[in-house]
A and B are shown apart, each in its own frame.
Chain A
Amino acid sequence: MHVFLQTLLDGLMLGGLYALAASGFSLIFGVMGILNLAHGAFLVLGAYVGLQISQSLSIEPILTLPAVVVVLFAAGALFQRYLVQLTVDRGGLVASLLVTFGVSLIIHDLLAHFYGPGSRTIVSSYAYSRIEFGGLVIGLSRLVPLVVSIVLILALHFMLARSRLGREMRAASQQIVAARLCGINVRRVFALTFGIASAYAGVAGVLVGTVLPFSPNSETYWTISAFVVVVLGGAKSPAGTLLGGLLLGILNTMTAQFISPLFTSTVMFLVLVLMLLVRPQGILGHAAGATR
């Protein structure tokens, strides 16, 4: 029972990272219908920006988050406005796949050039601190990302549900022409969506960096895991993303503990296939066709 509870706790901690890492991906897919294959690259870029600021100013990694948000928001918004939007206008959504994939390669190569291909870690003062109760161990470096994930995903949920921008995003996601007729500047909304999603990816990157070693090559893993989380939890729903992330984390640690660490990807994709067959809209998502 103790092992089971510890594994469950570890899964929740890991799930927090997955959820936050996927929230930006889910937002873009939900609002614009674009599978942003550069999502993992933006996450890793955020990790490097956080690392750079943290090391240069000798400050706690978590204090770099405001700066990371600004940088990644700007990068994401510009990327959407001047590259993705133009591509979608000319070549449709399929062309955006190629553009986002291309940009992920460019970010990867630039990071490898400037920072080297080796793995890095962002060291926090609480990296090796832990809380113990009833024989269960929770590493603080994993608990902090979980808490931040829940707070940020809730913030995203309320922003989408209550704010004017959230309403505009939802309107643009349902019917672009109707949204325009209502006076919504859809291009601006899409750019802001990409900016916010990238900022979330950046924050996730810093938090991932405090927990796991990362390198320019890590981007693929985070794009794929974001995709799995969205399929599990459902697109266009921050609550679904949180649920999907936590489920993926628990699935990962349970498989590693009770089957073998070797089969975590196998089980992850088995569940992914099952979800696509049984409930393609995800646990908390809308029907697949209605996401656009």
Chain B
Amino acid sequence: MSIRMNRRTLLASAAGGVLALPFTSRGRAVAQAAKTVVLGGSIPLTGAAAETGMNVFAGYKTLVKFINEELKGFDVGGERVTFELNMIDDASEAQRATTLIQRQIDEGIEFFLGSFSSQIVLPTAAITERAGKVMVQTGGGSDQIFSQGFQSVFGMYPRASRSVYPAVDAFLSMDPKPQSAVVIYTNDPFSRLQADGVTAYIKEQGMNLLETYSLPAEVTDVSGVLASIRELKPDVALCVTHDQNSQLITAQMAATNTNVKGLFQVLGPATENYRKSLGNKADDIFAVTSWSEDMKYGDDIVGTAKDFANYYRKVETRPLVFHVVNGAQCIMIYMRAMQAAGSLEPMAVRDAIKGLDIMTFGGPIQFMPEGDGHPVKMGLKIAQVQKGELKVVFPKEVAAASAIWPMTPWDAR
């Protein structure tokens, strides 16, 4: 009895095996042909930078999924290549991030993606650089990252001190042209760099800089700053502040009827939480973005900006913001550089990245010799919240809408 059953089992297994053979062998053939390149790195999925970290991570995941599942990989020197992500939560802490990166280097990972925040990217980039590995990141724009002679670290943004220039340019393109400005900034290394850069640029452009206000990272009240603004009556206010502080500034400006012709905030308006919490008080506020799905960008791999947006919404649930797109572009950069190099050798890929001058669904890609993004091609675009949505309004060539200028007074909303 038991022998008969064993035979039956054996026969059934053999039959199953024969039937499954074409599939398993084909699967194995694909698996054997496709070489998997591991992209390592840390990312803040918890802690202070988690909100944006999760957006960047969503971008990484989306394009890896697209390349692996929709394209079934890509050819590098006659070999089929797919990507595998090995990203670990660094809890928004530089110390934890450096430990994780060192461990990944010891495990033999050659290509790295970035965390979010210059304070994390800078020390981790120093480690990958020293180890002769490549890093493409969209989380650090601090000047320090690009002024240390790193050869294998590439950033998706122009360096911090120049990154807010487009906001000033946008305001100067308005009619009537604003004459005076104040700058409010969070006193952390990155925001301060941005603020120092933009205050110098404001003066350079002939605008009257009335005051600069420095805020600590945790603020519970900005009524003093706003009282001063009501006295000074500047045409525009530029806030180089974090999400939470930007939200507080807007809410208190609205509550105290502190009006300016233009309010610009580096962080805040791009997040859905900000726009949802403030409702129509978020309207007309200027913000930075590097991307909008209405932009006429595209490539022959993913398609247009709209195609990317549609695919993203199919596979991810987080809101589509520009950090997502920048994250996805980091993966695209690796893919295009590996194809151009025809090799997976890190230094060959590094050199190919240096030579990239391409258009993608997320916009043009070209790096400066120091590794930062080309200030014009990869410079931030200025968007404005219009009826709850971010619309690119500057530069005019890529604008999806005309700017509302001056912004609607708070009481008229």
Contacts and interface: CB of A to CB of B under 8 A. Distances in A.
B51 A117 contact: yes
A7 interface: yes
A261 B227 contact: no
Interface stretch (B23-31, B218-226, B331-339, B376-384): B218-226
A10 B221 contact: yes
Contacts, number: 107
A64 interface: no
A14 B221 contact: yes
A141 B255 contact: yes
For A6, A140, A256, the residue with the greatest tally of chain B CB atoms inside 10 Å of its CB is: A256
Interface in A238-273: 249, 252-253, 256-257, 260-262, 264-265
A261 B254 contact: no
A68 to B, nearest CB: 19
Contacts of A158: none
A261 B256 contact: no
Interface in A212-247: 212-213, 215, 217, 221
Contact of B410 (A128, A140, A141, A249): A128
B410 A212 contact: no
Interface in A2-46: 3, 6-7, 10, 14, 17
B273 A120 contact: yes
Contacts of B278: 121
Looking at chain A, what size class is its interface with the partner chain? 35 or more
Given A118-B271, A123-B277, A262-B215, A256 B255 contact: no
Nearest to B52: A118
Interface string B209-236: 0000111101111111101100100000
Contacts of A129: 255
Interface string B223-254: 11101100100000000000110011001101
Taking chain A's interface residues, is the majority helix, strand, or loop, or is none over half, making it mixed?
helix
B233 to A, nearest CB: 15
Contact of B222 (A119, A130, A215, A261): A261
A111 to B, nearest CB: 11
A119 B273 contact: yes
A19 to B, nearest CB: 13
A116 B51 contact: yes
10 contacts: A6-B223, A7-B227, A14-B221, A116-B50, A116-B54, A129-B255, A139-B255, A142-B255, A249-B221, A264-B216
